[in-house]
Copies of this chain bind each other. A is one copy, B any other.
Amino acid sequence: MDESPKLINIGLFGFGVVGQGVWKNIEKNRTTLEGRLGVRISISRIVVRDLTQKRSVVVPNDILTTDPDLILNDPEIDIVCELIGGTDLALKVTESALKKGKIVVTANKALICEHGEYLFDLAKSNGAQYFYEASVAGGIPIIKTIRESLVGNHFSLIFGILNGTSNYILTRMEREGSSFDSILVDARKLGYVEADEALDIDGIDAAHKVIILTYLAYGFWVKLKDITCEGIRLISQYDIEMACQLGYRIKLLGIISKDLSDESLTVRLHPALIPSTELIADVNEVYNGISVTGDVVGTTLFVGRGAGQDATSSSVISDISDAVSLLGNSNSTIQHASPISYFENQKGLKLRTQGELESRYYVRFDVRDEEGVLAEISNVFAGHHISFSTVNQKELEDNLALIMVTTHLINEASIIKACNEVEGLNVINKKPSFIRIFNPFEFLS
């Protein structure tokens, strides 16, 4: 009678921040984790680029290798964690592992966005699995929650703060009244900003997560180039102050909303004024928050650390645990609800273009402080059937001024045209900038 628990071998690709976190935290909580799962777990092989690199965790030398095949061709390794990042080598090893029917666990949002449709199909056709909890919102279990816990729901609105770095910068701008540029310098020093800064600052990282959530909730793949993706670079201290005065906070939000009238999806990532009474408006610093509204569950909110070694490895370990369950159940005939969302792509679902968005807007005009400026601007906007809800003017030095307005509901095409036209006026100092106003309540009627 053999009662010793089964041994599960795991191979890691990449041993950077997240990889070392996975190793460290499995070691730390090994007894509990193995007790909970009823198996023994071994990270039996780690593929790295450079064997000599110094790392903060100590691993037996003989498990490190530079040869991917030592994981890919090892029939004893059923679970592969791709923690390399990027879309080149990561694609190759993911492809290869899925073709061999292995379970791949990833934190690689860029790879999913670029090749997810192909990779999930590849997993399906090879009886493999592709797990990705760590790809969205760090330690928040949003993938599993939408896929399994809210499985009985249709989703009308999913939105949230999905990039910790941007949220950290906005939080400090609001608290300290400092400029974007000065806080960016600090954030760099703290190691909060990715090497490719555009990922954080121009919203690309958060947009990747929005794309993954859109797939998860609607079975619908959108391309980055087809959605609105704007970062926080243009947010000024004046915008933040005015937002506060008007009862809002400025947050970088990913928003996926479904219009039930025509089965269209709006998918976007941009800074937004959100009412300060919304709970998520108080999700600050490096935290992420995601609100999901389902037709059965109502509105929910999930908050946690959006990045970092430990939070991300918590999600990787969660996926490893699901993989362990699945390996124990490999005689499955029914499709397992847990592993992969093959949610029916809702037929006829279409993506709205940017111009079709209906929203209220905050617009800031940098003007010369002259007579009739407001009248000129108002005339242009009226010509596009845009009426103002609030108007505030602020004197600056050197005979300059800011006019900050909020509009009633209008489509974005009109705002863009009106702003372009205003830019041509003599009294205008630079291109007007607008920020969308997002009131979740308006989407839940």
Residues of A participating in the B interface, judged by any CB pair closer than 8 Å: 6, 25-26, 28-29, 32-33, 35-39, 133, 139-141, 144-145, 148-154, 279, 282-283, 294-305, 308, 310-311, 313-315, 317-318, 321-322, 324-325, 327-329, 331-338, 341-344
Contact = CB atoms under 8 A, between A and B. Distances in A.
Nearest to A329: B329
B321 A329 contact: no
A344 to B, nearest CB: 4
A279 B26 CA distance: 30
B310 A297 contact: yes
A313 B310 CA distance: 34
A121 to B, nearest CB: 16
Contacts of A298: 139, 304-305, 308, 310-311
9 contacts: A28-B296, A38-B335, A149-B315, A150-B314, A296-B317, A297-B304, A298-B311, A300-B302, A328-B335
A321 B302 contact: no
A96 to B, nearest CB: 26
A304 B311 contact: no
A151 B308 CA distance: 18
A328 to B, nearest CB: 3
Q: Please classify the interface of chain A as helix (H, G, I), strand (E, B), loop, or mixed, using the class held by over half of its residues.
A: mixed
A252 B39 CA distance: 39
A307 to B, nearest CB: 11
Contact of A296 (B282, B313, B341): B313
A29 B150 CA distance: 12
A296 B311 contact: yes
A256 B152 CA distance: 30
Given A148-B318, A152-B318, A296-B314, 11 more contacts: A28-B295, A36-B342, A37-B151, A144-B145, A153-B314, A294-B314, A300-B303, A300-B305, A324-B337, A325-B336, A329-B334
